[in-house]
Chains A and B, each alone.
Chain A
Amino acid sequence: MAPETRVPSRAAAVNRPRVGVVKFASCDGCQLTILDLEDELLALADRFEFVEFAEATSRRSSGPFDVLFIEGSISSPEQVVEIARLRAATKTLVTIGACATAGGIQALRTAAEHEAFRHAVYPAPAFVESLAVASPVATYVAVDAELRGCPIDAHQLVELLTAVTTGRRPQLPDQAVCLECKRRGLECVVVTRGEPCLGPVTQTGCGAICPGMGRGCYGCFGPREGANVDGLARWFTDGPALGSLEPGDVGRLFAGFTGGAPVFRGVTDRLGGRPLIQLRPAGAYPPELAEHNPPRWGSAGKEGLDA
């Protein structure tokens, strides 16, 4: 799942690398992580030229990009076209976050369920364009590096940017969350409380946030190298420590923000726990409203014009 990382040479730091940040289907949280680097943001702006970052600047660029960060999954027909164009305009393409790297939680829908989903949410789904499945960026184009997480971790982001400027390989470990958990001196929530935790099969990088807050990991960094998901799922369903969860409960654990990753998805497919699609109660949307033109303020518009 982790592609070979290519980073521009150190010489690139002399001319500020042209950096873009774009999004597809997502919550904006990963690109917000860039704006949340409060201590580093202005220094980063000196070092990199943010030529495209719609959430932060009105300046726009269609490329070329030395480094392009992509948030979000590919979920609509336009996005398929756009990602190909962006790839062609980019040297180092970095996917950021669970949506871009694993499809995000929206990747839980299958092609067969798509119509049901559309009808569940929209009264007139014909107006809504979306692909049957939401996919990670790597499904459509080659990816040079990825930052996992929902959202990504600020330290990993800084590490990646530093690797770009120094020309070294970013240190993005593929170990289990457990290593970070124990380095932090946190007790295992599975062992002490029978709390299901995906830490043993999830890639670290978050700093073991969930066990640090007294709960099990929900896998938002996606499967680690060699994740023994079956071994863990078996212990959750059959082992004594958790009071034996129902298979569907375990399946739902894996159906999270990286539930589209094949390794996790396999567990959910086998044990159940996929989202249950139910239509909205009839009459929630009077169908005639769907065709209305947008209404106006009472008389406010006229008043405003006089100002």
Chain B
Amino acid sequence: MHEVEGGGFGGVTTTAAPQGRMNDLRFQVQNLTRVEGEGSLHLLVRDGAVAEARLQIFEAPRYFEALVAGRTPNEVLDIVSRICGICPVAYQMSAVHAFEDLFGVEVEPSTRALRRLMYCAEWIESHALHIYLLHAPDFLGYPSAVEMAKDHRQLVADGLRLKQIGNHLLATLGGRAIHPVSVRVGGWSRAPRKAQLSALQPALHEALRLARATVDIALGLTPPAFEREPRLVALHNPREYPMNDGRIVSNDGLNLAPQAWGEAFHEVQVPWSNALQARGADDLPYLLGPAARIVLDAEQLHPLAREALQASGALESIRRNPYRSIVARAIELVHATADAIDIVDAYEPPDRPAVEWEARPGTAAWATEAPRGLLFHRYQLGDDGKVAAAVIVPPTSQNQAAIEADVAAFAPRVLDLPMDAATHQLEQLIRAYDPCISCATHFLDLSIQQAPS
């Protein structure tokens, strides 16, 4: 897998295609880096034009949907977080809401607020990770944040600090930042004390300041000129920026309840990938994530984040240029930090950590907004209150087809470049989606194949 020392993007190889035709050429970018998980990219070039882009996810499958069968709802919350170490909260949230929706559980208002706070914490740490450690080095020309820190120490230190504050908040709520343990159907195993959260306020204010500075930094990073008209999908809630709760909407008029995800979308398996891909009812790709949310939910942003968006004037470029997702993430950082401050201010601990509930058989389904976009869960519960079947559709598997389409559209301009420059540009494009391959099962090698006409 890893054959090349000291730079480049793993094994960039040129080999004859299996058919052995002279003009078949397959390029492989093995193991995309600075993404979560393992995968590769293959390009099929036919008569000098890109015929097809295939995002191959070779993260070994772990069969989560089978592993949750026979489990109780609370056990499911612990298990599904392991789908992704980067966004475990998202998995716990989609699942817990699905169960509570089926069981008719009314959680206490403070529980609802705390869940949103927990999601804010995850957005902060995940977005800070992606902006500063994974994506910014692309724009500034470094192989990693560590190398970038040699010239931009404060920049990296600020990013780490932001991430740390998100992690601290998450650990306060969940015991630890990765795979937190406190989320339970009906509420929490233990709710934080008021003083515990208040103690975090100075750090959260610092995070807000750093987040606002991040917007300026992101705006200063020049995106390659590449635009397209994506179909965007996100949750929408007229009362708040979508995290835990909203209807599924799109920029082409979709509007349905989160439980009804399956009416508008479906999953398919493609032979080159261990991850299932999701498509619209028309079989076309769609795009989730920060850019989709910013475009579809701009009105619901926290006033401070809305102000940052307006000042940036970047709304249209966020929609059209995938590289501008870094600006969208920065604006969402402002939103998450500002929202967290408000929630902590208003927090009053619930009377009891969790309300009583009783399992019911039926279909439990819900969608929430993971840092990378809409995450849909559907569980079939049997009479014994245990899961009989499950469908989990992570954002990256929904974005996969969209990424392939964008890569196919972008690729012609790099075909004449030297291989390492070509792969670098393609990888940078893929990273713009913050693909989380562990989730999708997971990521990334590039191959370019010349096919016969």
* Contact in complex: B62, A29 (CB < 8 Å): no
Chain A proximity mask over B58-70: 1 for CB below 8 Å, otherwise 0: 1111111111111
A4 within 8 Å of B (CB atoms): no
Which of A137-145, A164-172, A236-244, A287-295 contacts its partner?
A287-295
A296 x B7 contact (CB < 8 A): no
Interface centre among A53, A252, A273, A307 (most CB of B within 10 A): A307
Nearest-Cβ distance from residue B96 to partner chain A, whole angstroms: 14
Contacts of B164 in A (CB 8 A): 36, 38-39
The smallest C-beta distance from A194 to any residue of chain B, in angstroms, reads 14
Q: Is the CB of A127 within 8 A of B83?
A: no
Contact with B along A26-50 (1 / 0, CB 8 A): 1111111101101101100100001
- Say yes or no: A278-B389 contact (C-beta < 8 A), given A26-B438, A32-B86, A60-B5: yes
A58 touching B146 in the complex, CB below 8 Å, given contacts A38-B167, A213-B174: no
Cβ A297 vs Cβ B60 within 8 A: no
Given A118-B63, A307-B227, A218 and B78 touching (CB < 8 A)? yes
Beta-carbon contact of B271 and A109 below 8 Å? no
Q: Give bound CA distance, A302 to B2, whole Å.
A: 35
Tell me which residues from 222 to 257 in chain B have a Cβ below 8 Å from any Cβ of chain A.
225-231
Q: Which residues of A contact B86 (CB under 8 A)?
A: 28-29, 32
Given contacts A210-B181, A213-B189, contact A298 B284 (CB under 8 A): yes
Contact pick for B78, options A51, A256, A302, CB 8 Å: A256
What mask results when residues 266 to 307 of chain A are scored 1 for a CB within 8 Å of chain B, else 0?
000000011111111100111001111111111111111101
Is A275 in contact with B78, judged by CB distance below 8 angstroms? Answer: no
Are A294 and B401 within 8 A (Cβ)? yes
Most buried by B among A213, A214, A280, A290: A213
* Chain A residues touching B, majority SS: loop
B157 contacts A42, C-beta separation under 8 Å: yes
* A51 CA to B4 CA, complexed, in Å: 11
> A285-B268, A298-B284 in contact; A29/B85 too (CB < 8 A)?
yes
Measured CA separation A41–B402 after assembly (Å): 34
Q: Does A221 contact B (CB under 8 A)?
A: no
Report if A90 contacts B (CB, 8 A).
no
Q: Establish whether residues B401 and A275, one from each chain, have CB atoms under 8 Å apart when the complex forms.
A: no
In the bound complex, residues from chain A placing their C-beta under 8 Å from that of B225 are 307
Let me know if B121 is at the binding interface, CB within 8 A. Answer: no
B277 within 8 A of A: yes
Q: How close is B136's CB to chain A, nearest CB, in angstroms?
A: 13
CA distance A274 to B1 in the complex (A): 35
Are A293 and B52 in contact, with the CB atoms below 8 A?
Answer: yes
Contacts A121-B61, A122-B61, A298-B284; A27 near B410 (Cβ below 8 A): no
Chain B residues near A285: list those with CB within 8 A: 266-269
B412 on the interface (CB 8 Å rule)?
Answer: yes
Question: Which of A7-15, A100-108, A175-183, A222-230 lies at the interface with chain B?
Answer: A100-108
A255 to chain B, nearest CB (A): 9
Chain B residues engaging chain A, CB cutoff 8 angstroms = 1-10, 31-38, 52-54, 58-72, 75, 78-79, 82-86, 88, 125, 129, 133-134, 137, 143-147, 149, 153, 156-157, 160-161, 163-164, 167, 174-179, 181-182, 184, 188-190, 225-231, 266-272, 274, 276-277, 279, 283-285, 353, 380, 386, 388-389, 391, 401-402, 404-406, 408-410, 412-413, 427, 438, 442
Note all chain A residues with C-beta closer than 8 A to B267.
Answer: 284-285
**Complex Cα spacing A32 to B226, Å:** 31
Residues of B contacting A290 in the complex (Cβ-Cβ under 8 angstroms): 268-271
Judged by a CB distance under 8 angstroms, whether A23 is at the interface is: yes
Most buried by B among A53, A109, A118, A278: A278
A295 contacts across to B, CB distance below 8 A: 279, 283-285, 401, 405
Residues of B within 8 A of A36 (CB): 125, 163-164, 167, 177-178
What is the number of residues of chain A that contact chain B, defined by CB distance less than 8 Å?
A: 100
Q: Is A151 an interface residue (CB 8 A)?
A: yes
- Is the Cβ of B227 less than 8 Å from the Cβ of A304? yes
- How many residue pairs link A and B with beta carbons under 8 A? The number is 322
What chain A residues lie within 8 Å of B178 (beta carbons)? 29, 32-33, 36, 151
Asked whether, in the complex, the Cβ of B229 is within 8 Å of the Cβ of A25, the reply is no
Task: Give the residue name and chain of the B residue nearest to A215 (CB).
Answer: B189
Q: Given that A58-B9, A60-B10, A275-B66 are known contacts, is A45 also in contact with B149, CB under 8 Å in the complex? A: yes
CA distance A105 to B65 in the complex (A): 12
Given known pairs A150-B179, A294-B54, A304-B409, the reply for A42 and B146 (CB within 8 Å) is yes
Which residues on the B side are within 8 Å of A174 (C-beta)? none
Q: Which residues on the B side are within 8 Å of A17 (C-beta)? A: none
Q: Cβ of A24: which chain B residues have Cβ within 8 Å of it? A: 60
Which 6 pairs show the lowest CB-CB distances between chains A and B? A29-B85, A57-B144, A214-B190, A276-B70, A301-B409, A300-B228
Cα separation A213 to B188 with both chains bound (whole Å): 9
**CB within 8 Å for A56 and B133 given contacts A28-B86, A277-B69:** yes
**Complex Cα distance A246/B185, Å?**
21
Interface: A124 (CB within 8 A): yes
Chain A positions within 8 Å of B147 at CB level: 57, 59
Report Cα–Cα, A304/B4, bound state, in Å: 33
Q: A45-B146, A79-B60, A257-B82 are in contact. Are A289 and B266 (CB under 8 A)?
A: yes
Among B268, B388, B413: residue with most chain A CB under 10 A: B268
A213-B54 in contact given A25-B60, A128-B274, A295-B284 (Cβ < 8 Å): no
4 additional contacts, CB 8 Å, given A54-B32, A104-B62?
A: A31-B85, A38-B167, A56-B146, A294-B285
Q: Is the CB of A59 within 8 A of B160?
A: no
| Set B67, B285, B389: member contacting A297, Cβ < 8 A | B285
Name the one of A50, A124, A252 contacting B269, with C-beta atoms under 8 angstroms: A124
Contact B404 A294 (CB under 8 A): yes
Near B by CB (< 8 A), chain A positions 120-167 give 120-124, 127-130, 134, 150-151
Residues of chain B with a CB closer than 8 A to A212's CB: 175
Would A27 and B84 count as touching, CB distance under 8 A?
yes
Can you name 25 A-B pairs with beta carbons within 8 Å? A29-B88, A29-B179, A36-B125, A36-B167, A38-B161, A42-B156, A42-B157, A53-B144, A56-B134, A60-B7, A62-B2, A75-B61, A78-B1, A120-B389, A127-B271, A206-B176, A213-B190, A214-B353, A215-B184, A280-B65, A289-B268, A289-B269, A290-B269, A292-B268, A301-B405
Q: In the complex, which residues of chain A have a beta carbon less than 8 angstroms from the beta carbon of B69?
A: 120, 275-278
